[in-house]
């Protein structure tokens, strides 16, 4: 990627990863970027590095602006390997004794990843460092989304380098929000739903804290995707909304099927929901990736999950989805379980156990049907859909 000057003397020298399609279990259909930002001041500073495989490309990009050996220090906002994997190669090229600034937890975690060679220098939360005409302030953002995470803020330019926060897995030609347009919000939403949802309460606190500090934010530069330069308030507002976990009158119907009986049940439940006026999104697991399902769950009031019983348990794809969803901690949802079975039929109850673990209010009992549903059974599925819609309207299971 050609370096892009995002503000006077500040360059994005990061890289695009066109080909990645699986980011630790999250489908990245449009690839991603690993952004890194070069601040050219009296002390030349690089904010974040890139994935190990792209370290030489990062160095080549920096070389298009200045000799990488001129870099005086590196700031590592986050240890995860997509941003720090290239650090050893980078430091070897620019000088291994040069300081790498990080949070106190970052020091510990970078040490655990890379051993001794890096000259790690922890910075205190709120500490400020002068680069020349600019100064940086470091803000710890623990658990957003690793214990080591921090933001770096350029006081004079009012630019926030936000690490993963406000990012998107998107590797288009565009570099800024005004170039990418409204379409980028879907990528930001998917990113939030799959990376940050479980930290929603902490995000609300962080937004309050930053608001109370009165930091002007003219531009937000995340480490993935586009830079928010025209309307950074838009993504901050979206984060506040998503973190409050506000839901719409919408149900996501997720299912898998063995011999089409659970599929027929799902279709009838969708009809029931639709007939009762709820918005409904059918998402068969053979057609939708778990990460796209979570994106829809983000604002869904009801999560309706169907599974046939296989070997006395939940169908594996459904179990995968429930495990993934549980980790991301959606709150205040209504759950409803259904499924066809042959002789034992444990799946529905096991789905309900998963709902309980997620503190979902459950529309109970779940709907179990033996073998192939006939006309009467299909009518009961439509009725189940209507009952879910009623629970949604009342906001309860
Ligand atoms: Fe983009 Fe948490 O790494």
| Residue pLDDT, tens place only, 348-382 | 999 999 999 999 999 999 999 999 999 999 999 99
Measured in angstroms, how far is the CA atom of residue 49 from the centroid of ligand 1? Answer: 11
54, 61 in Cβ contact below 8 A? no
Phi and psi at 12, nearest 5°, equal -90, 115
Measured in angstroms, how far is the CA atom of residue 211 from the centroid of ligand 1? Answer: 24
Active site residue 92: no
Average pLDDT over residues 152-177: 97
The catalytic residue among 48, 78, 199, 239 is 78
pLDDT at 305 over 70: yes
Question: Is pLDDT larger for residue 46 or for residue 117?
Answer: 46
Average pLDDT over residues 258-264: 98
108-126 burial by CB neighbour count: b if 16+ within 10 A, else e? Answer: bbbeeebeeebebebbeee
The catalytic residue among 12, 17, 82, 107 is 82
With bands split at pLDDT 50, 70 and 90, how would you rate the model's confidence at 135?
very high
pLDDT at 397 over 50: no
* pLDDT score at 211: 87
Active site residue 53: no
325, 303 in Cβ contact below 8 A? yes
* pLDDT score at 332: 94
Calculate what percentage of the chain has a pLDDT beyond 70. 99
Average pLDDT over residues 260-275: 98
| Closest residue by CA, ligand 1 atom 2 | 80
Measured in angstroms, how far is the CA atom of residue 190 from the centroid of ligand 1? Answer: 14
Please work out whether the CB of residue 169 comes within 6 Å of at least one atom of ligand 1.
Answer: no
Active site residue 289: no
Question: Is pLDDT larger for residue 212 or for residue 24?
Answer: 24
Average pLDDT over residues 270-295: 98
Measured in angstroms, how far is the CA atom of residue 75 from the centroid of ligand 1? Answer: 15
Active site residue 371: no
Please work out whether the CB of residue 41 comes within 6 Å of at least one atom of ligand 1.
Answer: no
With bands split at pLDDT 50, 70 and 90, how would you rate the model's confidence at 396?
low
| Closest residue by CA, ligand 1 atom 1 | 164
Vertex 204: Cα angle to 198 and 205 (nearest 5): 110
Please work out whether the CB of residue 223 comes within 6 Å of at least one atom of ligand 1.
Answer: yes
Measured in angstroms, how far is the CA atom of residue 233 from the centroid of ligand 1? Answer: 22
157, 218 in Cβ contact below 8 A? yes
Q: Is the pTM of this model over 0.75?
A: yes
- Using alpha carbons, select from 319, 329, 384 the residue that is nearest to residue 353: 319
Active site residue 82: yes
**Tens of pLDDT, residues 68-103:** 999 999 999 999 999 999 999 999 999 999 999 999
Average pLDDT over residues 245-253: 97
| Closest residue by CA, ligand 1 atom 3 | 80
Atom of ligand 1 nearest to the CA of 81: 3
Please work out whether the CB of residue 78 comes within 6 Å of at least one atom of ligand 1.
Answer: yes
Average pLDDT over residues 47-60: 98
Average pLDDT over residues 10-30: 97
Please work out whether the CB of residue 51 comes within 6 Å of at least one atom of ligand 1.
Answer: no
SS3 labels along the chain: CCCEEEECCEEECCEEECCCCEECCEECCCCEEECCEEECCCCCEEECCCCHHHHHHHHHHHHCCCCHHHCCEEECCCCCHHHHCCHHHHHHHHCCCCEEEECHHHHHHHHHHHCCCCEEEECCCCCEEECCCCEEEEEECCCCCCCCCEEEEECCCCEEEEECCCCCCCCCCCCEHHHHCCCHHHHHHHHHHHHHHHHHHHHHHHHHHHHHHCCCCCEEEECCCCEECCCHHHHHHHHHHHHCCCCEEEEEEEECCCCCHHHHHHHHHHHHHHHCCCEEEEEECCCCCHHHHHHHHCCEEEEEEECCEECCEECHHHHHHHHHHHHHCCCCCEEEEEEEECCCCCHHHHHHHHHHHCCCEECCCCEEEECCCCHHHHHHHHHHHHHHHHHHHHCCC
Measured in angstroms, how far is the CA atom of residue 240 from the centroid of ligand 1? Answer: 20
* pLDDT score at 87: 97
Rounded to whole angstroms, how far apart are CA atoms 9 and 39?
6
Measured in angstroms, how far is the CA atom of residue 19 from the centroid of ligand 1? Answer: 17
Active site residue 109: no
* pLDDT score at 116: 75
pLDDT at 145 over 90: no
Beta bridge partners of 253: 282, 304
Residue 326 CB neighbour total at 10 angstroms: 14
Vertex 347: Cα angle to 342 and 348 (nearest 5): 105
With bands split at pLDDT 50, 70 and 90, how would you rate the model's confidence at 148?
very high
* pLDDT score at 18: 96
Please work out whether the CB of residue 164 comes within 6 Å of at least one atom of ligand 1.
Answer: yes
Average pLDDT over residues 217-240: 97
pLDDT at 175 over 80: yes
Q: What mean pLDDT, rounded, does the chain reach?
A: 97
Residue 259 CB neighbour total at 10 angstroms: 12
């Amino acid at each position: 990627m050609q370096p892009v000057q995002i503000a006077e003397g500040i360059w994005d020298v990061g890289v695009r990863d066109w080909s990645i399609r699986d980011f630790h279990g999250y489908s990245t259909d449009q690839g991603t970027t690993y952004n890194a930002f070069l601040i050219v001041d009296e002390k030349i500073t690089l904010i974040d590095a890139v994935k190990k495989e792209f370290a030489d490309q990062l160095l080549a990009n920096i070389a298009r602006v200045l000799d990488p050996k001129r870099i005086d220090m590196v700031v590592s906002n986050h240890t995860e390997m997509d941003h720090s994997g290239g650090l050893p190669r980078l430091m070897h090229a620019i000088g291994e004794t040069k300081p790498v600034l990080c949070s106190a937890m970052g020091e510990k975690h970078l040490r655990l990843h890379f051993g001794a060679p890096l000259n790690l220098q922890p910075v205190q939360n709120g500490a400020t460092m002068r680069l020349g005409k600019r100064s940086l302030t470091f803000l710890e953002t623990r658990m957003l989304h690793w214990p080591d995470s921090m933001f770096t803020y350029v006081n004079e330019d009012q630019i926030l380098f936000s690490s993963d926060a406000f990012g998107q897995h998107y590797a288009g030609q565009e570099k800024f929000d005004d170039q990418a347009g409204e379409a980028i919000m879907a990528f930001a939403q998917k990113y939030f739903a799959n990376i940050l949802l479980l930290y929603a309460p902490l995000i609300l606190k962080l937004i309050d804290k930053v608001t109370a500090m009165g930091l002007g934010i003219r531009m937000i530069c995340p480490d993935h995707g586009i830079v928010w330069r025209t309307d950074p308030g838009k993504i901050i507002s979206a984060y506040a909304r998503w973190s409050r976990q506000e839901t719409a009158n919408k149900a996501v119907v997720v299912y898998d099927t063995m011999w089409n009986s659970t599929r027929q049940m799902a279709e009838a439940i969708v009809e029931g929901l639709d007939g009762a006026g709820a918005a409904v999104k059918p998402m068969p697991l053979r057609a939708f990736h778990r990460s796209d399902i979570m994106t829809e769950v983000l604002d869904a009031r009801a999560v309706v999950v169907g599974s046939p019983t296989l070997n006395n348990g939940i169908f594996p794809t459904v179990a995968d989805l429930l495990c993934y969803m549980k980790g991301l901690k959606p709150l205040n949802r209504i759950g409803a379980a259904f499924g066809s079975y042959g002789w034992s039929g444990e799946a529905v109850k096991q789905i309900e156990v998963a709902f309980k673990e997620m503190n979902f209010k459950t529309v109970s009992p779940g709907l179990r049907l033996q073998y192939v549903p006939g006309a009467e059974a299909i009518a009961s599925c439509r009725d189940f859909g209507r009952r879910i819609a009623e629970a949604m309207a009342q906001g309860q299971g």
